């Protein structure tokens, strides 16, 4: 959970004084967006952009609290799990997690959210900005049942802006190129991360083994 002040950007950075403090300064460096780029921003879905929502199994949810401290959280389920209620309304089911509830607590304090929809193998992404509401409406949430379990909570998003994001980031990063996939064995496990935080006395192997067993049983998935 961030402790950064929302006004941190006005403080000189500890590494450099060469910082941008106004949009005028920014535009002097990057220029203005093309008219067609601005024209792609809509306030609702259409028959083409609906496909990004319907085919995405992975969504990033951006929120911030009342002070402006930000959080970004992944959401994942079978493709199309974010339900299109109508062309201006989405429903994101809230599955069991770690109970920190960063996103949900932020939404209570500040309803403005951002979504990034990712479709495996597709280099374009889809962005939605809107206002969120947390719902416990059982009838509404019943349509998000998976493995015979309906979510207890959901996030309704009223769309304010909806637009595609071009492929440049995906192409530059080689995100979907298997030649650049990282071997998971070369990355730290959750247990190893905990040990780096808490010290060598932490039982990383035991933690990883227990978590793997819970995942194998799909315990707490739904």
The structural domains of the chain, with segments of one domain joined by +, span 37-173, 182-216
CB neighbour class for 115 (10 Å; exposed up to 12, middle 13-18, buried from 19): buried
> Three-state SS across 14-77?
CCCCCCCCCHHHHHHHHCCCCHHHHHCCECCCCCCCHHHHHCCCEEEEEEECCCCCEEEEEEEC
Q: Under CATH, which number does the domain 37-173 receive?
A: 2.30.110.10
Q: How big is the CA angle at 206 (ends 200 and 207), to the nearest 5 degrees? A: 85
Q: What confidence score (pLDDT) does residue 13 get?
A: 87
Q: What confidence score (pLDDT) does residue 129 get?
A: 98
- Positions of the chain with pLDDT under 70: 1-11
Q: What confidence score (pLDDT) does residue 10 get?
A: 59
Q: How big is the CA angle at 134 (ends 132 and 139), to the nearest 5 degrees? A: 120
Q: What's the predicted TM-score (pTM) here? A: 0.92
pLDDT in tens, 81-131: 999 999 999 999 999 999 999 999 999 999 999 999 999 999 999 999 999
């Amino acid at each position: 959970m961030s402790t950064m002040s929302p006004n941190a950007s006005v403080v000189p950075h500890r590494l450099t004084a060469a910082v941008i403090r106004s949009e005028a300064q920014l535009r002097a460096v990057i220029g203005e967006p093309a008219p067609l780029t601005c024209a792609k921003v809509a306030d609702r879905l259409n028959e083409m952009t609906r496909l990004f929502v319907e085919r995405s199994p992975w969504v990033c949810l951006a929120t911030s609290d009342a002070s402006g401290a930000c959080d970004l959280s992944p959401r994942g389920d079978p493709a199309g799990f974010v339900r299109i209620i109508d062309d201006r309304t989405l429903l994101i089911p809230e599955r069991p997690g770690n109970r920190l509830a960063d996103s949900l607590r932020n939404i209570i304090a500040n309803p403005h959210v951002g979504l990034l929809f990712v479709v495996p193998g597709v280099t374009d992404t889809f962005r939605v900005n809107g206002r969120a509401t947390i719902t416990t409406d059982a009838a509404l949430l019943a349509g998000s049942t998976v493995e015979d379990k309906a979510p207890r909570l959901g996030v309704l998003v009223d769309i304010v802006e909806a637009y595609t994001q071009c492929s440049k980031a995906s192409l530059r990063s080689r995100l979907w190129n298997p030649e650049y996939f990282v071997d998971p064995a070369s990355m730290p496990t959750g247990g190893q991360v905990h040990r780096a935080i808490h010290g060598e006395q932490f039982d990383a192997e035991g933690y990883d083994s227990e978590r793997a067993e819970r995942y194998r049983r799909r315990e707490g998935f739904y």
